[in-house]
Amino acid sequence: SDIEKGTYPHYMLKEIDEQPLVTRRIIDKYRNDADEITVDSEIVAAVNAADRIYIVAAGTSYHAGLIGKQFIENWAKIPVEVHIASEFSYNMPLLSPNPLFIFISQSGETADSRAVLVQIKELGHKALTITNVQGSTLSREADYTMLLHAGPEIAVASTKAYTAQLAVLSILAAVAAEGKGRSLEFDLTKELGIVANAMEVLCDQKEEMEEIAKEYFATTRNAFFIGRSVDYYVGLEGALKLKEISYIQAEGFAGGELKHGTIALIENGTPIIALSTQEHVNLSIRGNVKEVVARGANPCIISMKGLEEEDDRFILPSVHEQLSPLVAVVPLQLISYYAALHRDCDVDKPRNLAKSVTVE
């Protein structure tokens, strides 16, 4: 069946490898006969009628929302707030007069997100659910649904659902931008195709990822992920992956925040994964790396081709700068996988965690 592991030792590795295929499938599913990107017209109308969008999600899906905000604000110029579901329900922000809610949930069953959906429906607001599971609770109870088409995700650590969420959010943002008369300056379908190819290249570099995992994470107690702009958000996701399956205490930080406290944690040999995929913050993140290296950190710089420097540990194939999170996350997923494997952790079923959290 669809959800056999086949020759893979773990679902997580299989699901990481499926990302190029899933990205191509999404391009296909959201394309019309004229080869244009298309989204249900009711959804486009709802997005474009909103004066503000509220994205609500948990965990990895929340991290996807942070990047979705960039797509929607940069391209469609609609203000977006991103909220952690469990916080929103107890501390609801002041809402704009005409909000649209977007729930992002792989399973469509996350109770924290559902609690918010129930609340905002009582207030009479509209909701779009972006989910991998057709007919899930969040899909049934929302006004609109966009599917991820990622196929079943079995491993507790979410991988292909995250990149699928990013791809679908990019499509939604592009179509909303068009609806506002602001066509993108690039061909999203083509650029997502390039992303799929880059993912494939990365999935063929597993040995290097395993080397990095062994070199940096074999015995370490903690690890930090730093980045600026969207690289910071990808770092948050990289840190979540590492902590949930390898039990290494890992945190993602904005490069500029280090000096406001976190840098006190740097000791001799502390692994720092630094991401640099964005030209406008390349110099400043490299400055942050120098600061932590001066305090003894063991840096692992992952940069995008075109921005690379001599000591960078890994170079990502070049893709459109705004879509870099879809590729930058892949080595972080693989590194976490191998770190967990070499620390004898149960990769697919980490302790204390459930695939979908159906209690508040």
Site residues (vs ligand AGP, CB under 6 A): 58-61, 105-107, 110, 113, 156-158, 244, 356-357
In terms of CB distance, is 237 or 312 closer to ligand AGP?
A: 237
In terms of CB distance, is 177 or 334 closer to ligand AGP?
A: 334
Annotated catalytic residue 355: yes
In terms of CB distance, is 223 or 301 closer to ligand AGP?
A: 223
Helix, strand or coil, per DSSP, at residue 304 = strand
Using CA atoms, how far apart are residues 134 and 287, in angstroms rounded to an integer? Answer: 46
Using CA atoms, how far apart are residues 20 and 202, in angstroms rounded to an integer? Answer: 10
In terms of CB distance, is 116 or 212 closer to ligand AGP?
A: 116
Please give the radius of gyration of the chain, using alpha carbons only, rounded to the nearest integer. Answer: 20
DSSP state of 99: E
Helix, strand or coil, per DSSP, at residue 25 = helix
Helix, strand or coil, per DSSP, at residue 47 = helix
Query: Using CB atoms, what's the residue nearest to ligand AGP?
Result: 59
Q: Tell the smallest beta-carbon distance from residue 121 to ligand AGP (Å).
A: 18
Contact 281, 256 (CB under 8 A): no
List all residues 6 or more positions away from 4 whose beta carbon is below 8 Å from its beta carbon: none
Instruction: Strands of 277-313 (E only): list them.
Output: 298-304
Dig out the tokens for 256 from the structure: 């500029």
In terms of CB distance, is 60 or 298 closer to ligand AGP?
A: 60
Dig out the tokens for 1 from the structure: 């069946």
In terms of CB distance, is 285 or 329 closer to ligand AGP?
A: 329
Dig out the tokens for 173 from the structure: 């943002």
Q: Tell the smallest beta-carbon distance from residue 57 to ligand AGP (Å).
A: 6
Q: Tell the smallest beta-carbon distance from residue 347 to ligand AGP (Å).
A: 12
Q: Tell the smallest beta-carbon distance from residue 191 to ligand AGP (Å).
A: 25
Q: Tally the C-alpha atoms within 13 A of residue 158's C-alpha that lie toward its C-beta.
A: 27
Q: Is 48 exposed, middle or buried (0-12, 13-18, 19+ CB in 10 A)?
A: middle
Q: Tell the smallest beta-carbon distance from residue 144 to ligand AGP (Å).
A: 17
Q: Tell the smallest beta-carbon distance from residue 156 to ligand AGP (Å).
A: 5
Sign of CA dihedral 186, 320, 167, 151: positive
Using CA atoms, how far apart are residues 127 and 55, in angstroms rounded to an integer? Answer: 10
Within the chain, how many helices (H) and strands (E) appear?
13, 10
Q: Tell the smallest beta-carbon distance from residue 112 to ligand AGP (Å).
A: 8
Q: Which of 5, 121, 206, 355 is catalytic?
A: 355
End-to-end CA distance of the chain: 32
φ, ψ dihedrals at 205, nearest 5°: -110, 35
In terms of CB distance, is 188 or 347 closer to ligand AGP?
A: 347
Contact 216, 223 (CB under 8 A): yes
Using CA atoms, how far apart are residues 7 and 187, in angstroms rounded to an integer? Answer: 36
* Residues assigned a catalytic role: 355
